[in-house]
Amino acid sequence: MIRITKKLRTLSSLNLFFWSTLWLMVVLTIGTIEQKYIGLFESQKTYFTSLFFFYKGLPLPSGGSVILIMSLGLLSQLIFRTNYKSKRTLGITITHTGAILLLSGAMITRFFGEEGSVVIPEGSIVNYMQDYKTQDFVLKNEQNGQDIMILTADTISLKKDYLLSGLSLKFLKNIPNCIQTSNPDEKIRCIEIDIRSEKESGHFNISQDSTEAQVIKLDGKTYSAEIRPHRIPLPFSIKLLDFEKKFHQGTMLSKSFKSEVQVIDGSLISRHLIEMNSPLRYKGYTFYQSSFSENAQGEITELSVVKNAAQWFPYLSSIIICIGLLLHLLINSKKFKAHS
Amino acid sequence: MKKYFLVLFLIVASLNSFAQSKTSEAELIPVMHEGRIKPLGSFARVKLNDYFGKKQFGEMNATDWLLEVFFNPKEAYTREIFKIQNPDVIQALALPSSRKYFSFLEMYQAFNKNHEMMNPLLSANESELDLTSKQIRELYMHFMDYLGLSRSFSFFSPEINVGEKHLSYFDLVASGKMIPKKLAEYMEEDAQFKTLMIIPPVDANSELWTSPWEAAIGKNLPALKKWHTLYQSYNEKKSEPKAALALQKAEFNQKFKVELLIKKYDLVSWSISLYVLGFLALSLHFLKPSNLPNSWARTVSFVSIAAGSVFHLSFILARCFILSRPPVTNLYESILFVGLTAVIFSLIFEVKKKNSLGLFIASTLGSSLLFLSIGYQQTGDNMGMLVAVLDTNFWLATHVVTISIGYGCTLVASMMAHYYLFTSRKSEASALKALEKNIHSTLLYSLFFVILGTILGGIWADQSWGRFWGWDPKENGALLICLWLLWITHGKLAGKFKMKSFAFVTGLSSIVVAMAWFGVNLLNVGLHSYGFSSDAARSLFIFSGVELILLAGLWLLAENKLPRNRKAV
C-alpha cells in the first residue's frame, strides 16, 4: 500500500510535468503540421487522441497518453503535495483544481459524447443522425422498401458468404479510400460484390461518391445497394421548414445562414430557428448550423449534432482557473510590494 | 511634471494645423460597396487607387474625380488614369512605351485592337496565366469597372434626338412618355453594370441597394430627381453642396465623418513616427554618460510614445465605431491590437518602474508591429465584412480580445528577457534580480490572458459547433503558447531554468507567439485559416531564424551567475 502511495507521489513531481509538457509541445507541433498532409481527422486520431504513434516502427507516446499522465500527476499533486492551508499557494491550488475539472470533462466527452450531423432537405423529416467516420453497406429490397442488410463497412469479411432470404452475397473488395480527393479528410470507399439469387447472378461495383444507389435486378426482383454514413437514431424527428442564406451585397461573403425547423417528439411539436452561433438544444442534444447545399429539388441544410454530458465542465473550470490565477497574481503582487 | 505637459503641448500644437479638416457634402453620400454602406469619399478612394495607384488625382481629390466620371465622362475619358507598371503589359497592348499612365480612350483603342488576344485570356483559368496575362486581365477588369462607373448616370445625358430637341432617357421617364422599345433596349444596356450601388432600398424590409440605372428602369423617381439636381448643378458649374446634401442620409453622417477623417489623416503613420521618435530620444537618453534617471530626452521619449499610443488607440476605436464591431476580427486588426496592448502594458510598467525599459519595449514593439500591420492590409478600403461564423460581437469581444492581450503580454515578456540577457554583464545584481521578478510576473499575466482566451475560444466553439476542442490548427497554436508558458513557469519552479537560461527561454516566446499567430495560417486547414502567401512563410522563417541567432548570441555573451562582488540585496 505504502509502495503504491509512493509511486503515486512520484507522479506529482515537477520533473515529470516539465518533460511531459515539452513532449506534448513536440507532438502538438508535429500533429498540427501533419494535418496539412493527412487531414484533420486522421492526424487527430494518430497524434492527439490515441495513446501511441509510430515513428519508423518506434512507438512514441502521443497526446492521449501524455495528457493522461499529466492529469494523474496533477491529481497526485493535489492529493499529496498541496498544502491547503497555505495562503501563498491558494491561487495555484484553485487553478490546479480547475484544470483537473477541465481535464476530467474532456475525458467524459471523449468516452461518452456522441456526435454526428443531420442533413435535411427542405420539407423533409429526419429521425437519425449521421456518423461520417463510419460507413454502412446497405442492401435494400426496392419492392417493399425494406433494408435487407445493414453492415458496418469496416466489419465486412471477404471470406464469408453472406446468406440472406434467397440471396447469397460475397464481398470481393472493400477499399476504404479508393478515390482520394483534394481534401485529405475526404476518403471515398469502394466495395465490389458478387450477388446470386436462385437463377441469376451479378457483379457490381459500389462507390460512396455515386449520388444514387446501385440498382440490382435478379429474378425479376429489384434491389439496391449503397454505401452511406452510419446512422444513429434520434429519440425525435426534425423537419426542415425553411432554409435561408444571405450574402453581403456585392460579395461572396456569407452574411447569415438560418434553418427554421420543427421538432416532432411524439405528439409534441415545436418550432425553432437555428442560426450561426445560435444552436437548438433539445433533450441533451445540441444542433448547430454547420453547412448547406443545393440541388435541383431545393436547399438542404446540414446541422452538426452533439450529445455531451460534460458540456458544462469547461464553463465551470474556466471560471475556477481564472479566479485561481487572478488570486495568485494579486497575492504575489502584494508579496512583491511587501518585499520592496 | 511640467516637462511632460510642455512636450505634450508642442505635439498637440503641431497636430492642430492638420486637424482643421473639411469634408465636402458629396463625400458623405452613402453607397453600398463590398457589403458595407460607406461614404462616397471612401468609395472614390478605393476606385481611384484601383486604377491610378494613388488616392488623389493631381489637384483633384478622389470624390471630385469620381463626380467628373459620373457627370462629365467626355472630359474624364481623356485623363490619364490607368496605371501600368509592367513594360511587358504596355508592349503587349501596343501602347506608347514612354508613359506609365494611359487614358480611358487609349485603353479603349488598345483593347479593341487586341481583341483577338483578349478573348482566350478572359476565359482562361487563373492558374494557367503568366504574370503579364494576369495583369492584362486585371487591367481589363478595371477598364470595364471604370466604364461602368462612367455610364452610371448615362440616362441624364441628352443623347436622344426628338425633333429639334435633345432629350435624355430620364427626361422621357420623368415626363411619363413612352420610350420606343428599340431605343429603350439600346439605352438600357448600361443597366448591366453593377459597379455603383448607390440608390438606397425603397422599402424598409429590403436591404438591397440598387444601381442608378436599375432605379431609372424601376421608375424610382424621387431618388433620381435628387441626383438630377446634382447633375445639373455640376454641369452648370455651380457649387453643389445643397444638391449633395439632399442625397446624404443623416443616420450615417457621424460614422462617415470619422471614416473620412481617418482615411485623410493616416493615423498609423503618425503613430509609427511618434514611436520611432520616442525610440530615438530614448537612445539619446541612454547615450548620455551621466545616465541620470530622468532627463529631457527621456521625457520627450515618454511623451511621444504616449502620444503615439493615443493615435494608435484612436485609430482602433475609430474602426470599432465605423464598423460597429469589436477591435479584432482579422489578422490585420489583431496586429494593430497586439501592438497597442504591448505599448500600453509597457507604458504602465514604465510609470511604475521608471527605469526606461518600458519605453524601450513600447517604442520597439509599437513601431515594428504597426509597420508589420501595413503589410497585412486588406485590399480595397481595408474594412471588409465578416463571414457569418465570425459575426458575433460577444465572442469576438471576449475570446479574440483576451487572446490578443495574451499575445501582447507574452511579447513584452520576451522583450524584457532580451534586455535581461543584453544587460546582464553590466547591471547590478539587485537590478538583475528585480528584472527577473518583473519578467516572471509579466509571464504570469500572459499566462492568465492566454489561458482565459483559449478557454473562451473553446466555449465559443462549443456554442457554435458543439465541440469545446477540435485540434484545429489555431486551437493548437493557442494551446502551444499555454503549454510553453506553463513549461517556463513550472520549469523555473523546478529549478530547471536559472538566470540566463530562464531569460533565454522567455526570449524564445516571441517565436512561439509568431508560430501560433501567423504560422498556423500557413497550413491553410481548419476553420480559422485566413489565406496566406508563401512570402509570409518566408518572412516568418527569417524572423524565427534571426530571433534564434540573436538570442543565442545574447545568451553566449551573458553571464550565468550573479557576480560575487555585486551580491543581491
The 10s digit of each residue's pLDDT in A70-89 is: 999 898 888 887 788 888 88
Q: Cα distance from B505 to chain A (closest Cα, Å)?
A: 12
Q: Give me the residue from A28, A36, A322 closest to B523, CB to CB.
A: A36
B348, three cell numbers: 504602465
CB contact under 8 A, B32 and A279: no
Question: What amino acid occupies position B559?
Answer: E
CB contact under 8 A, B466 and A306: yes
- Beta strands (DSSP E) in B150-225 are 160-162, 165-167
**A–B interface: beta-carbon pairs under 8 A:** 157
Optimal mutation site among B465, B482, B534, interface A, most CBs of chain A within 10 A = B465
Of the candidates B396, B473, B465, the one whose C-alpha atom is nearest the C-alpha of residue A290 is B465
Residues B479-514, buried b or exposed e (16+ Cβ, 10 A)? bbbbbbbbbbbbbbeeebbebbebbbbbbbbbbbbb
Measured CA to CA, the distance from residue B386 to residue B392 in angstroms comes to 9
Nearest CA in chain B to A105: B468
Measured CA to CA, the distance from residue B24 to residue A295 in angstroms comes to 50
Nearest CA in chain A to B478: A28
Q: Give me the residue from B35, B389, B458 closest to A250, CB to CB.
A: B35
Q: Read off the pTM.
A: 0.84
Q: Cα distance from A322 to chain B (closest Cα, Å)?
A: 7
With contacts defined as CB-CB under 8 Å, which chain B residues touch A33? Answer: 523
CB contact under 8 A, A250 and B447: no
- Specify whether the CB–CB gap between B63 and B27 falls below 8 A: yes
With contacts defined as CB-CB under 8 Å, which chain A residues touch B386? Answer: 253
Nearest CA in chain A to B194: A250
3-state secondary structure of B427: coil
ipTM of model: 0.82
With contacts defined as CB-CB under 8 Å, which chain B residues touch A256? Answer: 388, 391
CB contact under 8 A, A277 and B389: yes
CB contact under 8 A, B391 and A109: no
Nearest CA in chain B to A340: B434
- Specify whether the CB–CB gap between A193 and A225 falls below 8 A: yes
With contacts defined as CB-CB under 8 Å, which chain B residues touch A18? Answer: 487, 490-491, 494, 496
Tens-digit pLDDT profile for chain B (569 aa)? Answer: 666 666 666 666 555 555 445 567 888 899 998 888 899 989 998 899 889 888 888 888 888 899 889 988 888 899 999 998 888 888 888 888 888 899 999 999 888 888 888 888 788 777 777 888 888 888 898 999 999 999 888 888 887 777 777 888 888 888 877 777 777 777 778 888 888 888 888 887 788 888 888 888 888 888 888 888 888 888 887 666 777 777 888 888 888 888 888 888 888 999 999 999 999 999 888 876 555 556 788 889 999 999 999 999 999 999 999 888 888 888 889 999 999 999 999 999 999 888 889 999 999 999 999 999 888 877 667 777 777 667 676 877 889 899 999 999 999 999 999 999 988 888 788 888 889 999 999 999 999 999 999 988 888 888 777 778 888 888 899 999 999 999 999 999 888 888 789 999 999 999 999 998 888 777 765 444 444 456 777 888 899 999 999 999 998 888 766 555 444 43
- Cell numbers 511618434 correspond to what residue? B274
Q: Is the dihedral of CA B304, B308, B311, B313 positive or negative?
A: negative
Q: Give me the residue from B458, B465, B476 closest to A32, CB to CB.
A: B476
- Specify whether the CB–CB gap between B498 and B562 falls below 8 A: no
**Mean pLDDT, chain A, as a whole number?**
85
The Cα angle at residue B334 between residues B333 and B339, in degrees rounded to 5: 100
**Mean pLDDT, chain B, as a whole number?**
84
3-state secondary structure of A249: coil
Helix H or strand E segment including A110: helix A90-112
